[in-house]
Structure formats: structure tokens, C-alpha cells
Amino acid sequence: MRVAIVHHHLHPGGVTRIIAHASEALRAAGAGVVVLSGLAPEPDQHWPVPVEVVPGLAYEEQRSETTPQRLVGDMRQAAQGALGAPPDVWHIHNHSLGKNLLLPLAIGRLAADGERLLLQLHDFAEDGRPVNYRRLRDSVGEGDGALLSQRLYPQAGQVHYAVLNGRDRALLARAGMAAGRLHDLPNPVSLEGVQAGGPAPGQGRLWLYPTRAIRRKNLGEFLLWAAVAPEGDRFATTLGPRNPAERPVYEGWQRLAAELELPVEFELGSRPGVRFEDLLHAAHAMVTTSVAEGFGMAFLEPWLAGRAVAGRNLPEITDEFVDAGVALPHLYRRLEVPQEWFTRGVLEQRAQEALQRAWAAYGRPLRGDEVQGALNAWIVDGRVDFGRLDETLQAQVLRRLHASPGAVEELQPGVLPDPGEDTALIAANRAAIVERFGLEAYGARLHEIYHGLLASPVETPGALPGEAVLEQFLAPERLYLLRS
């Protein structure tokens, strides 16, 4: 089997790591593999398979001037040159995110030519990325959302889709994708070079949030747990945001943490001489307070390092992990604060404004019932989920807790769940993760999907109805102000 894996770039990070794992698994199984990238890998990156640069695949602002037809020709030439023959499967990552406006059109040509395509969707322009979506609609869709849907998501026997989780699979199935062409492909979970550590040093408990602290990571909630923690507990994050647009919000949290004298250190992972492995082993437990994830690596990786995970649960992500045998008993679904802590009408106003921005950004008017739909998800029995709030309202709660320590009794839960040192749980979860989400399991799943794709009939491509995928994501109950 010959496989061409395609992505915009090979910068260190999530998708690049997945591509590297897939390449290694396929090569070890005897497949011929080439990676096509819009940019060359960095000099210190070592790839197990050939990498060919196709400049037309890069991000829109970086790609070479070309056309969809020429891009198809360049991809074919690069793949055949490395493999010695045309690929049997084109495995293409994040083609529909709006980072490159020619790639969806090139894929349409490949599909029409009967090429077998696996389109792996890590993220969606329809999910909280209105700028990307507008750019796609105006260019790829020629201003027509229905035409965009047709071009982004071709439907044919030779075109299959892979998603990271059951949530995305269900969304796409409801949008009209055939179940036999829609596959679960969870990310492989591996901490290369990191051994499972023993008990953390007894210097006060360190709660570590191994994350790049962008908005959806919900840093305010992490600071709340620092604000109400027992004396001697310490809290730390590993990385700050790369995107300059994220810096003002992040720096606002740093200032508030200093003002309230919270036991928090920021960007420990960026300090000279600090190894990530040492941070993991120094931690009492890992914390996640994120309100949105694509795959949910933060719920799995810590167990491989011998550390439990505490914090906010995301059931649409974690339910599959639990079904696979990974126990996650130290997570909460909501962090509830009394509704009366907020000025009357402010929550309705925030929901109204955020929904208007989101719907307008996607070219949709509010119908009138969306605000109440959002509030019904936010507020239950007079208590508001802290994770639904924006930074201003979250900071208001933190100041209240600082000024009135007894107010912590009105939180539900009132403490961050403590995993303790349950070595049996850690060992059991580690074994389940290696078995169900390890590199060997990933390689086997990938081969299964490829063989199903190769056995499918070649058909004239059809289309999803209207803006079917967008309709699935524009649901008011999914509204988090940290993502608006």
C-alpha cells in the first residue's frame, strides 16, 4: 500500500505529532509513505519517511501563487516521485479549516477523478472560527454557504472521513454523512521519553496545568482553585499563548493573580533548564479546566507519567475514554456559583451579545429563542456554571472569594477533587490507555480504515444538503463566552 499524507506544515505540535506517529506505524507495517507539506520541516526534526514540500499547500498567507488544477498536479508529481507510483490513499489533514483556500477545490478534483481520499478533520471552521468560515464561504463557496458545504464535504464511496471523537462523528452523521464512510480515529497517546514517576516530592502539593494558556483553557477557573486551596498548595501552568491576540487576556490573569497573591506560577515549562518530564514528576496531580477540546489528550497523557487528572469534565470527549476502561473519578461537570452573585440581567445581556456576534459572524440572524436556550444550559436551579462566564465575570467571582473567604461554601464543588496517590488507579489507567490508545492500536485502526476505503466503490461525488455542518455547530446550548 502506498500512502500520501498531506498537511499545510510540519511545525511542532498536535497534528504534526499525529502525522509522525502515523508515518512510523505505516512504515513499520511495510507501507510506502510520503508526507507532503506546504513548508519544509524544521532542521532538528527527524522524519521516519520522506517529506516533500509542495508550496501550494501552505497557509493562505504563505503559499505560492497557484491554481487548484496546478496544485493537484504538484501533489501528484511529489507523491509519485517519492513512492515510485501514484498513492493508493491520500490522507489529508484539516482541509476544511480555512487555512488554505485552494486545497478544498483541489480535493474536489481528486475526488472527481476517483482518487481515494481519507479526510481527517481535527477542527472545524464552523465551530467557533467565524473568520475562517467567512473566508471559505466568500472564496471557496463564492458567497454561497450551500455551495461551500458541497465543496468542503464531497460525498462519494472513494471519499471517507476520520474524526477524533464520537461528538464529531455524531454531528457529521446528523449532517447527512453516510456511516460507512465516517470513521473514529482517536489520536495516539504516547509520552516519548517520559517514564512513570513515583510519589511527588513532599514540598507542598503542586497542581500542574500542562497547557498553552489560551482562552478556551479557562485560566480563570484554574486561578479560582488556587484562591480556595489549602495553605501550602501551589499551582502552575507550563506555557503562555503564542498568538499575540491572546496575550492581553492572559496578562490580565497574571496581574489579577499577583494582586490577590495567589500561589500560582506561570509558564514553568518555558524557563531555561526546566524539563517537561521533571515538571510532571514534581506535580501532585495534573489539572484541566478547559471548556473545549478536540481530542482531549489532557485527560490521558498524565496517567502515562504516573499522575492522576483532576478538574473539569467534558463528557462529550471523556465518555469514550471511560467506555475504553479509563477511570476519571476526579472530574466535575459544572463549577456552580450562585446566580445572585451577578447583577440582575447581566447574564442575559452577555448571552444575547455573544449569540448575536456568533450568528452574525456566520451570516445568520437570531430567531429569538436562542438566548433562553443558552441560559438554560448555563443556569440550573439558580446556580451558574463558572466555565460559561467571560473573564470579567470570572474575575468578579475571584474578587468576591478573596474578600469573603467564607463564600467558598457556596461553590459546588467547593474544593478541587484530590486524587491522592492511588497507585492502583494509575496503573490500571495506564494499561487501558496503552491498550486502547497506544501507537500499536492507532496503527491497526489506520490500516482498518484504509482497507475499508480501498474496498469502497468509486462514485460521482455528491454533496451534503445546505449548510448542514454549520447547523450542527450553531446550537445555543454550546455557547461558552470564553469561545465567543
Q: What is the CATH number of the domain that holds 117?
A: 3.40.50.2000
pLDDT at 70: 97
* Contacts of residue 271, Cβ cutoff 8 Å, sequence gap at least 6: none
pLDDT at 128: 81
The closest of 422, 186, 221 to 312, measured between CA atoms, is 221
- Looking at the structure, do residues 154 and 117 belong to the same domain, yes or no? yes
Residue 229 forms part of a structural domain = yes
Average pLDDT of span 251-275:
94
pLDDT at 146: 92
Give the C-alpha separation, 215 to 247, whole Å: 10
> At residue 477, does pLDDT exceed 80?
yes
> At residue 403, does pLDDT exceed 70?
yes
Residue 481 forms part of a structural domain = no
Q: What is the mean pLDDT of the chain?
A: 93
Residue 484 forms part of a structural domain = no
Q: What does the chain come to in residues?
A: 484
pLDDT at 270: 86
- Looking at the structure, do residues 384 and 275 belong to the same domain, yes or no? no
- Looking at the structure, do residues 12 and 155 belong to the same domain, yes or no? yes
> At residue 351, does pLDDT exceed 60?
yes
- Looking at the structure, do residues 199 and 219 belong to the same domain, yes or no? yes
Strand partners, 3: 33, 89
> At residue 348, does pLDDT exceed 60?
yes
Banded pLDDT at 354 (limits 50, 70, 90): very high
The closest of 138, 185, 131 to 443, measured between CA atoms, is 185
The closest of 393, 383, 348, 378 to 224, measured between CA atoms, is 393
Residue 400 forms part of a structural domain = no
Give the C-alpha separation, 49 to 20, whole Å: 9
> At residue 86, does pLDDT exceed 90?
yes
Q: What is the pLDDT of residues 441-474, one digit of tens each?
A: 999 999 999 999 999 999 999 988 889 999 889 8
Q: What is the pLDDT of residues 241-251, one digit of tens each?
A: 988 889 999 99
Banded pLDDT at 17 (limits 50, 70, 90): confident
Phi-psi region of 481 (alpha: psi -120 to 50; beta: other; left: phi over 0): alpha
Give the C-alpha separation, 196 to 203, whole Å: 20
Phi-psi region of 139 (alpha: psi -120 to 50; beta: other; left: phi over 0): alpha
- Looking at the structure, do residues 328 and 340 belong to the same domain, yes or no? no
Q: What is the pLDDT of residues 412-426, one digit of tens each?
A: 999 999 998 899 999
Give the C-alpha separation, 54 to 71, whole Å: 8
Residue 87: cis peptide before it, omega within 30 degrees of 0: no
Q: Which amino acid is at 438?
A: G
**More confident of the two residues 279 and 428:** 428
Residue 482 forms part of a structural domain = no
- Looking at the structure, do residues 138 and 248 belong to the same domain, yes or no? no
The pTM assigned to this predicted structure is 0.89
- Which string of b and e fits 95-129 if b means at least 16 CB within 10 Å? bbbbbbbbbbbbbbebbeeebbbbbbbbbbbbbbb
> At residue 384, does pLDDT exceed 60?
yes
What interhelical angle do 391-403 and 247-259 show, nearest 10?
10
- Looking at the structure, do residues 115 and 18 belong to the same domain, yes or no? yes
Q: Considering the chain, what percentage of its residues have pLDDT values greater than 90?
A: 80
What interhelical angle do 103-112 and 145-152 show, nearest 10?
60
Residue 10 forms part of a structural domain = yes
Q: What is the pLDDT of residues 158-201, one digit of tens each?
A: 999 999 999 999 999 999 999 999 999 999 998 765 666 555 55
Which H or E run includes 237? strand 234-239
Least trusted range by pLDDT, from 46-60, 71-85, 193-207, 380-394 = 193-207
Q: What is the pLDDT of residues 107-166, one digit of tens each?
A: 999 999 999 999 999 999 999 888 899 999 999 999 999 999 999 999 999 999 999 999
Query: Taking a C-beta distance cutoff of 8 angstroms, is the pair 225, 262 a contact?
Result: no
- Looking at the structure, do residues 183 and 201 belong to the same domain, yes or no? no
Give the C-alpha separation, 45 to 349, whole Å: 49
Residue linked to cell 464531497? 154
Give the C-alpha separation, 66 to 251, whole Å: 40
Give the C-alpha separation, 414 to 461, whole Å: 54
Banded pLDDT at 358 (limits 50, 70, 90): confident
- Looking at the structure, do residues 177 and 33 belong to the same domain, yes or no? yes
- Looking at the structure, do residues 121 and 210 belong to the same domain, yes or no? no
Phi-psi region of 418 (alpha: psi -120 to 50; beta: other; left: phi over 0): beta
- Looking at the structure, do residues 447 and 432 belong to the same domain, yes or no? no
Residue 233 forms part of a structural domain = yes
* Contacts of residue 308, Cβ cutoff 8 Å, sequence gap at least 6: 285, 286, 302, 330, 419, 420, 422, 425, 426
Average pLDDT of span 268-273:
87
pLDDT at 272: 86
> At residue 16, does pLDDT exceed 70?
yes
pLDDT at 239: 92
Average pLDDT of span 415-440:
94
Residue 398 forms part of a structural domain = no
Q: What is the pLDDT of residues 293-305, one digit of tens each?
A: 989 999 999 999 9
pLDDT at 191: 77
- Looking at the structure, do residues 141 and 184 belong to the same domain, yes or no? yes
Average pLDDT of span 8-32:
89
Total domains, the chain: 3
Average pLDDT of span 75-90:
98
Give the C-alpha separation, 246 to 217, whole Å: 12
Average pLDDT of span 275-285:
88
pLDDT at 200: 57
Domain with 132, as residue range(s), is 2-188+439-473
> At residue 286, does pLDDT exceed 80?
yes
Average pLDDT of span 260-274:
92
3-state per-residue secondary structure call for 347-370: HHHHHHHHHHHHHHHCCCCCCCCH
